[in-house]
Amino acid sequence: MAALVRALYEGAFNLFEKPMQMLQYSLGAHRMAWVFLLPNLLIFGLFTYLPIMLNVWYASTSGDRILLGDRDWVGTANFATLLDCGSYLDPNTCRRDLFWRAVHNTGWFVVLQVGFMILLSLIAALILNRNIPLKGFFRAVFFYPVLLSPVVVALIWKWILQRNGVLNAGMDWAGMDTVNWLLDPSWAFFWIVFVSIWANMGFYVLILLAGLQAIPGDVYEAAEMDGTPAWRQLFRITLPLLTPTLLVVMVLSLIRAVQAFDEIYVLTGGGPGSATTLLIQYIYDVGFATRPRQFGLAAAASLLMAGVLLVLTLLQLAATRKRAEEG
Partner 1 sequence: MLRFLTQRRGRDRLDMTDWIAFGVLGLGVFLMLGPVLWLVLSSFKTEAALQEYPPRLLPLAPQFVEVEGFETALQRFRVISGEHEGRELAQIRRVGLNAQMIDPANPEERLNVHINDREAVRAVQVETENYTGLFTRFNFLLYFWNSTFITVVATVLTVLFNSMAAFALAKYRFTGRTSVFLLIIATLMIPPTVTLVPLFLVVSQMGLINSPWAVIWPAIATPTGVFLLRQYMLTIPDDLLDAARMDNASEWRVYWKIVLPLSAPALAVLIIFSVMWRWNEFLWPLIVLNRSEVFTLQLALNSFQGELQTAWSSLLAMTVLTLLPITLVFAFLQKFITQGIAQSGVK
Partner 2 sequence: MRKTIAVSALALMTAGASQAQELRFMCYQDGNECDAWAAAFQTFEAENDGITVVVDVVPYQAIIESLPIQLEVGEGPDLARVTDYGGLARFMLDVRPHVSDPDMIEARYGPSLAWARVGDNAPDGIYNIVDQLTATGGFANATLFEQAGVDMPAPGSSWAEWADASRAVRDATGIDFAMAIDRTGHRFAAPAMSFGAALFNEDGEALVIDDGFRNFSEQFVAWHEDGTMARDVWAGAGGGTYQDAAGEFINANLAMYYSGSWQIGRFGRDIGDAFDWVATGSVCGPEACTGMPGGAGIVGLNHTEHPEAVGKLMEFVARDDVQAQVLAQTRNLPANAELQANGIDYQDVTPEVAAALTAFAASVPNFSETAYALQGYQFNRAVYTNIPARLTQAIVGELTLSEALDRLEQDVADAIAEAR
Binding string, residues 64-83; x marks residues near partner 2 by CB under 8 A? xxxx----------------
Q: In whole angstroms, what is the distance from residue 217 CA to residue 31 CA? A: 36
Least distance to partner 1, CB of residue 99, Å? 14
Residues 6+ apart with CB under 8 A from 236: 223, 228
Of the candidates 106, 121, 245, 281, which one interacts with partner 2 according to CB under 8 A? Answer: 281
Asked if 150 touches partner 2 (CB under 8 A), the answer is: no
107 binds, among partner 2, partner 1, none (CB under 5 to 8 A by kind): none
259 binds, among partner 1, partner 2, none (CB under 5 to 8 A by kind): partner 1
Least distance to partner 1, CB of residue 258, Å? 8
By CB under 8 A, the residues from 124 to 143 that bind partner 2 are none
Least distance to partner 2, CB of residue 274, Å? 5
Q: Which long-range contacts (CB under 8 A, 24 or more apart) does 132-135 make?
A: none
Contact 165, 159 (CB under 8 A): yes
Asked if 146 touches partner 2 (CB under 8 A), the answer is: no
Whichever of 169 and 234 has its CB closer to partner 2, that residue is: 169
Least distance to partner 1, CB of residue 129, Å? 7
Stretch that binds partner 2, among 6-14, 203-211, 231-239, 284-292 (CB under 8 A): 284-292
130 φ/ψ angles, rounded to the nearest 5 degrees: -70, 160
Q: In whole angstroms, what is the distance from residue 135 CA to residue 151 CA? A: 29
Q: In whole angstroms, what is the distance from residue 278 CA to residue 287 CA? A: 14
Least distance to partner 1, CB of residue 305, Å? 7
Of the candidates 6, 163, 232, 323, which one interacts with partner 2 according to CB under 8 A? Answer: 163
> Which letter, b or e, does each residue of 129-167 get, where b requires 16 or more Cβ atoms within 10 Å of its Cβ?
beeeeeeeeebeebbebbeeeeeebbebbeebbeeebeb
Name the residue among 57, 96, 87 with its Cα closest to residue 283. 96
- Taking the CA atoms of the chain, what radius of gyration do you get in angstroms? 25
298 binds, among partner 1, partner 2, none (CB under 5 to 8 A by kind): partner 1
Binding string, residues 178-197; x marks residues near partner 2 by CB under 8 A? --x-xx-x------------
Residues 6+ apart with CB under 8 A from 145: 153, 198, 199, 200, 201, 202
Of the candidates 13, 16, 57, 288, which one interacts with partner 2 according to CB under 8 A? Answer: 288
Of the candidates 269, 307, 317, 321, which one interacts with partner 2 according to CB under 8 A? Answer: 269
Contact 79, 300 (CB under 8 A): yes
Of the candidates 107, 194, 285, 320, which one interacts with partner 2 according to CB under 8 A? Answer: 285
For the chain, give the longest Cα–Cα distance: 78
Whichever of 145 and 296 has its CB closer to partner 2, that residue is: 296
Contact residues: partner 2, CB under 8 A? 62-67, 92, 97-98, 162-163, 180, 182-183, 185, 265, 268-277, 281, 285, 288-294, 296
